Homo-oligomer: A and B are copies of this chain.
Amino acid sequence: MNDKVKAEDTVIFYDKEKDKKYFINLSLTPKFGTEYGIIETEKLIGIEYGAEIKTHKGYPYLLLPSTVYDFIMYKLNRLTQIIYPKDAAYIALRLDVKPGDKIIESGVGSGAMTAIFAHIVGSSGKVISYEKREEFIKNAKSNLNKLGFIDRIEIKHRDISEGFDENDADALFLDVREPWYYLHHGYKALKKGRMVGILVPTVNQIIETLKKLEELPFIDVEVLEILVRHYKTVHERLRPEDRMSAHTAFLIFARKV
């Protein structure tokens, strides 16, 4: 029993023969075309995922649902370095993000972390993102709109040096160049006992952030990094891939008391 395609879905057209995938936003792409012909995407609404669909010339694609992972990795328009799934998944768990939560973050970047938060808080939750650069807001909104998450998200065009409006965040996430300047604001925004997560690329930033965390009523301070190693999926010659990402960012977590 499969789900049915909805008008606002981002779907995958899977070309079996070429083992190639196309990620299509139905509401934004009325006509999908390749050399093999055209598909009018409106006609797909209501069809079951898993169905074979054909272009007007008869070329077949498998109609598959997209995931938030797919979207971030293959479809998100990137104006910034994004937060990768390996880090985003751990951040969301460590911050205890769950359906119905109110999450605050800054900045919005390209919206990758925002998307993961929105994915988990669901339609009953809220993600409030502070961002001072207008071009990032515009791009992130476009990305999050394609995911159908725009109702769960509020992007505030603001510099967080003025503080946050909220005082009841279930979690706070900071991905800014100098997080130590905003931690006292962040402290106020959080519910007691709840977690702040901070992402920084350099060890110098870890050092400055730790200094500030020591001055504020935070406990359970944790610094870590996550490494993912992929393997070639050939069972006769199983071995790790030759190259891997050696570093995306360091993650810092702390609990407000």
Which residues does A use to contact B, with CB under 8 Å? Answer: 1-3, 12, 14, 16, 19, 48-50, 62-65, 67-69, 85-86, 88-90, 92-94, 96, 98-100, 116, 119-124, 167-168, 191-195, 201-204, 206-208, 210-211, 214, 219, 221-247, 250, 255, 257
Chain B nearest CB, measured from A231 CB (Å):
4
Contacts of A99 in B (CB 8 A): 99, 120-124
Report chain B residues within 8 Å CB of A245. Answer: 242-244
Given contacts A99-B124, A193-B50, contact A222 B229 (CB under 8 A): no
Task: Describe A's contact surface by its main secondary structure.
Answer: mixed
Cross-chain contact of A227 among B14, B227, B231 (Cβ < 8 A): B227
How long is the Cα–Cα vector from A228 to B94 in the complex, in angstroms? 13
Q: Are B246 and A241 in contact (CB under 8 A)?
A: yes
Distance of A129 Cα from B67 Cα, bound (Å): 23
Interchain CB contact under 8 A, A86 and B96: no
Q: Contact check, B246 vs A244: say whether CB atoms are below 8 A apart.
A: yes
| Known A222-B233, A229-B246, A241-B246: A94·B85 in contact at CB below 8 Å | yes
Additional pairs, 20, CB under 8 Å, beyond known A65-B194, A210-B238, A224-B230: A1-B191, A2-B192, A3-B191, A49-B193, A50-B193, A64-B255, A68-B98, A69-B96, A90-B228, A93-B116, A99-B122, A99-B123, A210-B235, A223-B231, A223-B233, A224-B228, A224-B229, A226-B227, A242-B245, A243-B243
Cα distance, A139 to B1, chains bound together (Å): 32
Contacts of A208 in B (CB 8 A): 235
Complex Cα gap A92–B232 (Å): 22
A147 to chain B, nearest CB (A): 11
Do A93 and B85 touch (CB < 8 A)?
yes
Are B98's CB and A93's CB within 8 A?
no
Point out the residues of chain B lying under 8 angstroms from A67, CB to CB: 94, 96, 195
Nearest neighbor of A252 in chain B, beta-carbon distance: B233
Residue among A2, A93, A122 with the highest chain B CB neighbour number at 10 A: A93
Alpha-carbon distance A34/B247, docked complex (angstroms)? 38
